A and B are shown apart, each in its own frame.
Chain A
Amino acid sequence: MGRIVLDQVNKSFDGVEVIPPLDLTIEDGEFTVFVGPSGCGKSTLLRLIAGLEDVTGGQIHIDGKDSTQLAPAKRKLAMVFQSYALYPHMSVRNNIAFPLKMAKLGRDKINSKVMAAAEVLNLTDYLERRPGLLSGGQRQRVAIGRAIVREPKAFLFDEPLSNLDAALRVEMRLEIGELHKRLATTMVYVTHDQVEAMTMADRIVVLKAGNIEQVGSPLELYSKPKNVFVAGFIGSPSMNLLEGPEAVKLGAKTIGIRPEHLSISDQEGVWSGIIGVSEHLGSDTFFHVKCDAFPEPITVRASGEVSLHYGEKVFLTPNHAHLHLFSDDGLRIA
């Protein structure tokens, strides 16, 4: 069981409020991702849940128990840090066994649990090594191993993949996803990478300056962003957010259209423009088009390889079913 409820939780550092009072419920077994730009308070929020920071006000309930004043060790949560935070002077075996030793388990029990965790994480051959001799991916596995042996109520991940290279990151992403499916334990995951958020989460919490901008499933956020910030933050490449007379014509301050919801043609269309830089990915081609109607260039996705060249005149047509309209205060109208 691992249901976490934040009730009017807020945090100030030296009188500066970094997290205004917020409410959030993380359901048992759910994979929740906190995402937002750096400095948005997502790590602080995670550390408040962990107990590594004290809340300034509000309450944190873990499984119905008020844990606001509990020491980190007493909350029965496990955390995986960005820097791995392994104990450099201990072997992999002792690193994984450390939480069990602290819990004063018997030696046999510790051994069997460590072996089981090592097997799951492919660490059996490295048990006697020091962390300094492991690769980044292996270190992160040890950190995860140290977390799972405790059988915690919830796992807290603080940007665990940002120190890994791109290929390894994709691999570890899948491994963590796999782990979640198998353990079905609550996981709270902090990242600034919206791709990680989209691919792993059951539910995403988008944060900006300590405020929750929107909570929802990845597809909900993708198709119905509540405001301009979420619209621009979720999705890669990001949504085109356009202002000007064309937007006013539709009764909005800003209109949003994703690159894949625009069609490009050299014959006809609604908005005319000139092709700027294009990015060829093989499966897709992204064109950055400078339109007459808007000051900002518009990103368009074309499926497959499309041969349109720099400086060519083209026409763009938005798919009206996927047009997002935002009011003056940035909120979604339709």
Chain B
Amino acid sequence: MARSNSMQLKMLTTVAAWSIGLMIFFPILWTILTSFKTEAQAIASPPLFLNFDWTLENYQVVQERSNYMRFLWNSVFIAGGSTLLGVLIAVPAAWSMAFVPSKRTKDILLWMLSTKMLPAVGVLYPLYLIFIELGVLDTRLGLIVVLMLINLPIIVWMLYTYFKEIPGEILEAARMDGATLKSEIFYVLMPMAVPGIASTILLNVILAWNEAFWTLNLTAAKAAPLTAFIASYSSPEGLFYAKLSAASTMAIAPILILGWFSQKQLVRGLTFGAVK
């Protein structure tokens, strides 16, 4: 009796999980499908699912009209640069919080996280002015710094959680063995935290890649990443759903592929320490 019950429960949860998964994935699937439709088919009612004339025309138009590679390169540069810079700053910060905590460490961690609750638009105006003042508006450097600052709390939190799992005695052993702080972090701490650092980097590349608010507001042409590339297909020429979908698909494809291949690492990293 108990056995058949648990079987039923298993089936039920499996069906539920797949349904939720499909629901989440559906908009992406729809975007990809629409990108292969003609503009007329894209807005057909009732909507066409698979029974339409597949075409690559939208991709051709998008390719001709804008320089995809330039946007892609900006995205890679900004997402990669902000993550790398963030990790460089966060490793020592997380080290000190994990291994030489003070009475205020927990408060600082919470305060850092609380900055994520700040509505971004609240600081847009001052930040915009600062960017003009410093001459970094519409530059990759400016965006790298802003995205790094925005994601820094998450990077520090994640690294802190991983570092906490590393026995302090091993670092003390390194200290006794004559390691300087730098050697301790580079030769002992970081190699032991590789899985954690890798997941942190992955998640932050994804977050930075998908970030739209700041990238749209602080760039114009030169430093515009793929988010701006998508946006450029949305409004001015009316609603060309098929072309917008083609642009979106091109923009999300790299990060989708990266996420697909690293999903195991990501899940492992995100649940690290939760299950022992």
Q: Which residues of A pack against B, CB within 8 Å?
A: 50, 52, 71-73, 77-79, 81-83, 85-89, 98-99, 102-103, 146, 150
Contacts and interface: CB of A to CB of B under 8 A. Distances in A.
A102 B179 contact: yes
Most buried by A among B167, B169, B192, B194: B169
Contact of B192 (A82, A89, A98): A89
B180 interface: yes
Contacts of B194: 89
Contacts of A50: 176
A79 B175 CA distance: 10
For chain B, the bracket of interface size reads 10 to 19
Contact of A81 (B169, B180, B187, B192): B169
Given A102-B177, A150-B177, 12 more contacts: A52-B176, A72-B175, A78-B176, A79-B173, A81-B173, A82-B169, A85-B170, A86-B170, A86-B173, A87-B170, A88-B192, A99-B178
Contact of B177 (A52, A73, A83): A73
B83 to A, nearest CB: 23
A interface, over-half SS: loop
Contacts of B179: 73, 98, 102
Nearest to B175: A72
B172 A52 contact: yes
A102 B179 CA distance: 6
Contact of A73 (B169, B175, B187, B191): B175
8 contacts: A52-B175, A72-B172, A78-B176, A81-B172, A85-B170, A85-B172, A85-B173, A88-B170
B84 interface: no
A146 to B, nearest CB: 7
A77 to B, nearest CB: 7
A191 to B, nearest CB: 17
A26 to B, nearest CB: 18
B167 A73 contact: no
Contacts of A72: 172, 175-176
Interface in B160-176: 167, 169-170, 172-176
Contacts of A85: 167, 169-170, 172-173
Contacts of B187: 98
A125 to B, nearest CB: 24
Contacts of B191: 89
A16 B191 CA distance: 37
B167 A102 contact: no
Interface in B188-206: 188, 191-192, 194
**Main SS of the interface on chain B?**
helix
Interface centre among B174, B183, B191 (most CB of A within 10 A): B174
Given A52-B172, A81-B172, A89-B192, A99 B177 contact: yes
Nearest to B181: A71
A72 B177 CA distance: 8
Contacts of A146: 173, 177
Nearest to B166: A88
Nearest to A152: B176
A8 B175 CA distance: 25
Contacts of B176: 50, 52, 72-73, 77-79
A98 B177 contact: yes
A87 B188 contact: yes
Contacts of A83: 167, 169
Nearest to B179: A102
B7 to A, nearest CB: 38
Contacts of A78: 176-177
A103 B194 CA distance: 25
A73 B180 contact: yes
B101 to A, nearest CB: 13
A99 B192 CA distance: 18
Nearest 3 interchain pairs by C-beta:
A99-B177, A102-B178, A85-B173
B187 to A, nearest CB: 8
A103 B178 CA distance: 7
A83 B175 CA distance: 16
B51 to A, nearest CB: 55
A52 B99 CA distance: 12
B6 to A, nearest CB: 35
A280 to B, nearest CB: 41
A88 B192 CA distance: 8
A146 B172 CA distance: 13
Contacts of B174: 87, 98
